Amino acid sequence: MTSILNSPPLPAPELDVAQWLNTDEPLTLAKLRGKVVVLHAFQMLCPACVKFATPQAEELHQRFGSGDLAVIGLHTVFEHHDVMTPAALAAYVYENRLRFPIGVDRPDGHGGIPATMRAYAMEGTPTLVLIDRKGQMRLNHFGHLPDLALGVAIGALLAED
Amino acid sequence: MTSILNSPPLPAPELDVAQWLNTDEPLTLAKLRGKVVVLHAFQMLCPACVKFATPQAEELHQRFGSGDLAVIGLHTVFEHHDVMTPAALAAYVYENRLRFPIGVDRPDGHGGIPATMRAYAMEGTPTLVLIDRKGQMRLNHFGHLPDLALGVAIGALLAED
Amino acid sequence: MTSILNSPPLPAPELDVAQWLNTDEPLTLAKLRGKVVVLHAFQMLCPACVKFATPQAEELHQRFGSGDLAVIGLHTVFEHHDVMTPAALAAYVYENRLRFPIGVDRPDGHGGIPATMRAYAMEGTPTLVLIDRKGQMRLNHFGHLPDLALGVAIGALLAED
Amino acid sequence: MTSILNSPPLPAPELDVAQWLNTDEPLTLAKLRGKVVVLHAFQMLCPACVKFATPQAEELHQRFGSGDLAVIGLHTVFEHHDVMTPAALAAYVYENRLRFPIGVDRPDGHGGIPATMRAYAMEGTPTLVLIDRKGQMRLNHFGHLPDLALGVAIGALLAED
């Protein structure tokens, strides 16, 4: 089988989030230990995110989010900072009926790459990160992943202790 | 044949636009007399616009925009005024590689329905308006139109003197 | 405008059909004079027909077939003759709920190209032929046509006397 | 997590196949013990098979078929027996460039439900059966399954010993 999962596992840097949507309290990877985490990094004005990756994250959340899979969005604004504000993101999330928790990646204060995006060395958006139950990063993928390939990888991680 | 065109024709109110993108000089229906005009009213955060109607307008522009069909976008912001600004629209247009001319419908200054949208009594976004060579409104449709039905209507209007 | 219609018009050879489905009596172009005719040549085992062109023909028939547009299917079997029989076609038409009239192009009796396909010099399937109200061929296109382009062409033909 | 897998596992009846395509030698579940088996039951004239389920089976085969996942098609003809013959199936497989092994479910000789379809009590086509490494049936699903849900289930089975 051609697995898309990395080997060996790598450490998953903690999230550095300025504010949250769709959750009553801030989330951390530490608190999510024991669950498989799907981290969906996106920008609200990135066409491939809007068309493919964000709906896929929402579908994952709807189907599997009630159990031991946590789907987390991360708004990693690295361009058009002046218009992809938290208020704009909130309107986008409302209009598209997104339900999964979304964090605003902490800006660097100089219009550059935000903190978590930098810590993960993400190349752009969309990026999909898979984190196993032990908090280890098993995938860090720039670009869209087909549903079948992603599903098989998630199924494998869910089967681990 | 089931035509989607209105009968009788109705007057088409002139555009009232605050600023333009993708055109060197302001457009008016008066100047476009003699051409068939497709007016695509949308909002950059309206999901049905982003997914269906705006790509359809761009395809019309690419296929037929070099002749006597003019495809014009109209950003009719009637909600989320604070985040669907002209600067945000410009970023959206850039990221989605839209090429057709787009006007920003003139705000009413009170966070309500903008001027052209009000003049056309549009019910929401997306709305598609077809204007014939004589400047008469022949269709004012709220919601997405299938390509085949829209194409047949445009072909009929192009065949008129 | 970039029209896909041929200029000048060419003569449209009469249909040579061995048997019909979805119609009580045989159709001829002569009888259809005065209507615009969409001739959809296909094979039931041609993937691009099944996926794109045949559903497009059915949509045209459903939307516009009650007026002066006639959508006619032509089963132009030029390969796998032993399995794309009229009985197999009937099962295919039934399972896919096709409603437009379909003629079986007359076999040459030697496992080659059937009569109407040969008369129109079609290059393969799907092929779409547009015939105007005077019975003249205005398009003879091998491959799938996008809905917008086809719609505009049909709208233009319907607007002719 | 909402798993689509059955619990408890059920015995998986052996395949009863009259002839094979896309494989040099006959396949049996007994020989495939140790692999996860995706059994895709279909009919070549079933629209939901052609549009959704068969392309999904081919994608699974292309992505994962070189390892310890075996994707097997089963042509379970229970209607239109006279036209969905092995020769017709071979033409269908050739035209659609299907590469995964496909068995013709053994006819009952009376125009009814074929042997394997009956043994599995399948309700129609498409049906998807998942068999684990021990040869136990873990899913027997009538209708199309979304890629994400199917992928997660397969990933879970692949992770088992």
- Tell me the pLDDT of chain C (161 aa) as tens digits: 457 898 888 999 999 999 999 999 999 999 999 999 999 999 999 999 999 999 999 999 999 998 899 999 999 999 999 999 999 999 999 999 999 999 999 999 999 999 999 999 999 999 999 999 999 999 999 999 999 999 999 999 999 98
Give the closest-approach CA distance of B72 to chain C in angstroms: 16
- pTM exceeds 0.80: yes
D2 inside domain = no
As a whole number of Å, the end-to-end CA separation of chain D is 21
Number of compact structural domains in chain A: 1
What's residue D15's pLDDT? 98
The proportion of chain A whose per-residue pLDDT surpasses 90, expressed as a percent, equals: 93
Query: Of D151, D131, D68, which is closest to residue A69 (Cα–Cα)?
Result: D151
pLDDT at D138: 97
> Residue D131's pLDDT is what?
98
The answer to whether residue A2 scores a pLDDT higher than 60 is: no
- pLDDT band of D6, cuts 50, 70, 90: confident
Among chain B residues, CA nearest to C69: B1
Residue pairs between chains A and D whose CB atoms are closer than 8 Å: 87
Instruction: Give 10-residue mean pLDDT values along chain B (161 residues).
Output: 79 97 97 98 98 98 94 98 98 98 97 97 98 97 97 96 87
Judge A/D contact: 3 or more CB pairs < 8 A: yes
- The predicted-structure confidence for D92-131, as pLDDT tens digits, reads as follows 999 999 999 999 999 999 999 999 999 999 999 999 999 9
Phi then psi dihedrals of residue C60, to 5 deg: -60, -45
- pLDDT band for A1, please (50, 70, 90 cuts): very low
Beta bridge partners of A140: A129
Cβ distance A154 to D153 less than 8 Å, yes or no, reads no
- Per the domain annotation, does B4 fall within a domain? no
Secondary structure (DSSP) of C3-32? ----SS-EE-PPP-EEEEES-SS---HHHH
Q: Are B12 and B135 in contact (CB under 8 A)?
A: yes
pLDDT of residue D1: 45
Going by C-alpha positions, the residue among D26, D29, D1 that lies closest to residue D15 is D29
Write out residues 69-98 of A within 8 Å (CB-CB) of D.
69
Strands (E), D3-131: 10-11, 17-21, 36-42, 69-75, 102-105, 127-131
CATH number (domain holding residue D85): 3.40.30.10
Residue written as tokens 């990693």? A76
DSSP D83-101: TS-HHHHHHHHHHTT--S-
Identify all chain B residues contacting A45, using CB atoms and an 8 Å cutoff: 91-92, 95
- Shortest alpha-carbon distance between residue C14 and chain D (Å): 30
Q: Judge whether A2 lies within some domain.
A: no
A9-34 pLDDT, tens digit per residue, is 899 999 999 999 999 999 999 999 99
Domain assignment present for residue C48? The answer is yes
* Span A111-145, pLDDT tens digits: 999 999 999 999 999 999 999 999 999 999 999 99
| More confidently predicted of A124 and A1 | A124
- Region of A78 (left: φ > 0; alpha: ψ -120 to 50; beta: rest) is alpha
Cα-based torsion angle of the residue sequence C114, C120, C122, C126 in order, rounded to the nearest 10 degrees: -90
Judged by 3 or more CB pairs under 8 A, whether A touches C is no
Residue C79's closest chain D neighbor by CA? D91
Inside any domain, residue D5: no
Residue at D136 is within a domain: yes
**Separation of first and last alpha carbons in chain C:** 21
pLDDT grade for D9, boundaries at 50, 70 and 90? confident
Position D4 in a domain = no
Contacts of B148 in chain C (CB under 8 A): 56, 59-60, 63, 147-148, 150-151
Residue C45's pLDDT is 98
Asked, for residue D67, whether it belongs to a domain, the answer is yes
Taking the C-alpha atoms of residue B158 and residue B130, their distance in angstroms, rounded to an integer, is: 11
* Domain membership of residue C99 as a residue range: 18-23+30-158
Strand ranges inside C23-149, DSSP E: 36-42, 69-75, 102-105, 127-131, 136-142
A56, A150, A155 ranked by CB distance to D153: nearest: A155
**D88 min Cα distance to partner chain C (Å):** 5
For position A7, what pLDDT does the model report?
Answer: 80
Beta carbons of C91 and D84 less than 8 Å apart: yes
Report the alpha-carbon distance of residue D63 to residue D54 in Å, rounded.
Answer: 14
